[in-house]
């Protein structure tokens, strides 16, 4: 038991370090366009986490397609063609609006906004993305090859940590670089994961019956209880 616990700790620490290092070097904001190699690398990296998700359901494949579309829209604009900047330049004559949050710089001053972005917004986005990645990986590790109903670890806090993880990944990206396209896509993607969670609840309910119904009453789908209820009987 002690050896198994040590292996789990080593796994969690190793994965967290790897994710942290990758996030440090990826998604660096450069404000230099037509860097399609960086766009492709980021899209490929964040698409890898789809391998931790099942594709049996049609709605799961649709949500994965929207997720990839979100990545392409984000990084094509971050490193490729600054469509949001062109839009504001053409429509309102405003330049240097690289993403929607740069409109704040027009109100509080470019220098002040640059400091807020680099020391608060950018690090916060990395933390949100990192939490999302860890939810996806650790959630997958618990249910991989599981034949019984999993109600421990992350699944003792929320029922769908992986779907929440993808919401966090894309939310962090949205915080880091909000554009017209990603602001439209994020609510659509979140709704699709919510819908997928409902379908999965019905299927698992049929498979595990009363045990899942008790679990469902005790453990919320996405938002943890502030005050933990009593453990499952």
43 pLDDT higher than 80: yes
33 pLDDT higher than 50: yes
pTM of the model: 0.86
Cα–Cα distance measured from residue 202 to residue 198, given in angstroms and rounded to the nearest whole number: 6
Contact 132, 165 (CB under 8 A): yes
Q: What is the pLDDT of residues 104-152, one digit of tens each?
A: 777 788 788 888 888 898 899 999 999 999 999 999 988 887 889 999 9
The Cβ of residue 80 has, within 10 Å, a number of other Cβ atoms equal to 16
Task: Please give the domain boundaries of the chain with CATH numbers for all domains.
Answer: 2-218 (1.20.120)
Q: What is the pLDDT of residue 56?
A: 57
Over range 219-231, report the average pLDDT.
75
Over range 176-200, report the average pLDDT.
92
pLDDT, the chain, mean? 84
Q: Average the pLDDT over each of 71-80, 104-113, 200-209 and give the range with the smallest value.
A: 104-113
Which is nearest to 171 in space by CA: 132, 221, 222? 132
- pLDDT classification of 36: cutoffs 50, 70, 90: confident
């Amino acid at each position: 038991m002690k050896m198994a616990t040590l292996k789990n700790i080593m796994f969690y620490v190793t994965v967290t370090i790897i994710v942290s290092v990758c996030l440090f070097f990826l998604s660096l904001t450069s404000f230099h366009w037509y860097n399609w190699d960086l766009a492709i690398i980021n899209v490929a990296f964040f698409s890898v986490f789809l391998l931790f998700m099942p594709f049996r359901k049609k709605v799961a494949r649709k949500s994965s397609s929207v997720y990839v579309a979100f990545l392409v829209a984000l990084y094509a604009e971050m490193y490729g063609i600054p469509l949001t900047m062109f839009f504001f330049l053409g429509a309102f004559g405003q330049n240097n609006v690289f993403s929607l949050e740069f409109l704040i710089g027009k109100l509080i001053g470019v220098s002040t906004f640059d400091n807020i972005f680099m020391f608060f917004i950018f690090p916060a986005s990395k933390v949100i993305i990192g939490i999302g990645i860890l939810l996806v990986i650790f959630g997958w590790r618990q249910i991989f090859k599981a034949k019984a109903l999993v109600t421990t670890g992350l699944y003792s806090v929320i029922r769908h940590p992986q779907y929440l993880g993808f919401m966090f990944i894309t939310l962090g990206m949205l915080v880091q670089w909000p554009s017209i396209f990603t602001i439209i896509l994020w609510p659509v993607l979140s709704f699709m994961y919510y819908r997928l969670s409902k379908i999965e609840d019905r299927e698992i309910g049929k498979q595990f019956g009363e045990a899942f119904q008790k679990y469902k009453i005790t453990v919320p789908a996405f938002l943890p209880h502030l005050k933990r209820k009593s453990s499952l009987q």
